[in-house]
Amino acid sequence: MSRQIGHHFTDDAYSRHGGGNGGGNMLEARVAKLEADVENIKTNLAEARADIRELNKNYASIKTDVSVLLQKTVEIDTALSKKPTADSLKVWFLTILLFSVAMPVITFLINLYMKKP
């Protein structure tokens, strides 16, 4: 369907999509620029894919390292839980102190008992 726009008759599809030849005789130069841009985009995309592959490798390595660190943390926690607490150390030292004081007294008493006629 055609309609009149100003002094020209135009097609509805022509007016809806902007129409015109878009720059006259510069079409070949514009196409060449677009082709160069597409090549640049392809190159950038290939580089991005390579970077993504490298990131995936690094991620796998980091994931392994984190697993090892978590395992070591669990091992350290287990080892620390087996360590004596401050209270148990105090009891142990007091027991040794009492035995160190009691042993000479016991030895003295045994010597006195053995010397009786």
For residue 83, what is the DSSP state?
Answer: S
What are the tens digits of pLDDT across the range 35-81? 999 999 999 999 999 999 999 999 988 999 999 999 999 999 988 88
Are 43 and 50 in contact by the 8 Å Cβ rule? The answer is: no
User: d(Cα 114, Cα 109) in Å, to the nearest integer?
Assistant: 9
pLDDT band at 30 (very low <50, low <70, confident <90, very high): very high
CA angle 73, 74, 75 (to 5 degrees): 90
pLDDT above 70 covers a percentage of the chain that reads 78
